[in-house]
Structure 1
Amino acid sequence: MKFHNFILIIVVILFISGCKQSEDNDEKLIDDNLTESNINKTDKQSDGLILFTGDFLYFDNAAVLNTGQTVYGVVVNEKIRQLDSLVQPFKSDPTDMISVGIRGKLIPKAENVEGWDYSIEVEEIVNVYPDEKAEAIVN
């Protein structure tokens, strides 16, 4: 009977320690999955800003960003005017879209308001990509 209890205690200890190792592995997998699923977030995770890349257009005091999956309205502020001055040399037509990387806050559209479902309030200009062959201009 003592031998049987001893074996039972060993099995329980091994089971508990195996579960602990499994939890550690699960946490690592969850962290890896979160990193992979949130590839649009920047390294500065604690500031709440999201990295957006896409084609930017500022025309007639209105701005949009086309990411290829979604088109966002862009809140016109000083950063947008600065971004517009950076992309102007690469435009051959006022309505040309230039590829950019920006960081900002995603703002949902208020009810009963016309416009894009989401807008971006830009807080940082990351890159301007004049064309696919050129190197990025880092600001």
Structure 2
Amino acid sequence: MKKISLLIAVFICLLSCKNETKQVVDLEENRAKSYNPNDGLITMKGEFVYYADAAVLQTPNEIYGVVIDENMHKLDEQVKPHKKEDTDMVPVTVRVRKFEKPEGEEGWKYRVEIKDILKVEAPDPEKDDVIKLSN
């Protein structure tokens, strides 16, 4: 009876560890994407918003215009469930190609083109930095 109980316990442990391995592999895959120094991309963490045909990534130090392309739309789809209003900014971590905006165009000095989406987080509900205007 002890052998059967031990065998069942070992079997249950092996089944429960299977999911953890997948999570570790996904984490390592994202980490490999974010730290490859030879691809010319940089990892940025900031708040993302896409509203009225304008996309912005705001980091603690700077604001970047985001190139509107397929990857930006994928990020917007992942961000939508975390928004209460269309203008809400959502914390994200992305791999981007950073470049200066073309001469003579309006907007922020630098633009970013999203290459990989590493993480999308829910906004902090305790954060109170929104200014709303009303009549």
Which residue is 1:114 aligned to?
A: 106
Deviations 1:50-91 (A, max 9, x none): 001100001112100000110000001111101111010110
- Of the three residues 53, 56, 62, the one matched with 1:64 is 56
Deviations 1:107-135 (A, max 9, x none): 102222211100001110010011348xx
Q: Give the RMSD, CA atoms, in angstroms.
A: 1.3
Tell me the TM-score normalized by structure 2: 0.65
| Bigger-Rg structure (1/2) | 1
* Equivalent pairs, count: 92
5+ residue gaps in structure 2? 1-33, 126-135
1:112 counterpart letter in structure 2: G
- Kindly, what percent of the aligned residue pairs are identical? 39
Which residue is 2:79 aligned to?
A: 87
4+ runs deviating over 2 angstroms: none
**Alpha carbons 2:101, 2:109 under 8 Å: kept:** yes
1:92 counterpart letter in structure 2: K
1:49 equivalenced with 2:50 (yes/no)? no
Tell me the TM-score normalized by structure 1: 0.63
**Highest RCO, 1 vs 2 (Cα 8 Å, sep ≥ 6):** 2
Distance 1:50 1:100 in 2: 14
Distance 1:80 1:58 in 2: 9
5+ residue gaps in structure 1? 1-41, 134-139
Give, in angstroms, the shift of residue 100 of structure 1: 0.1
Distance 1:128 1:107 in 2: 23
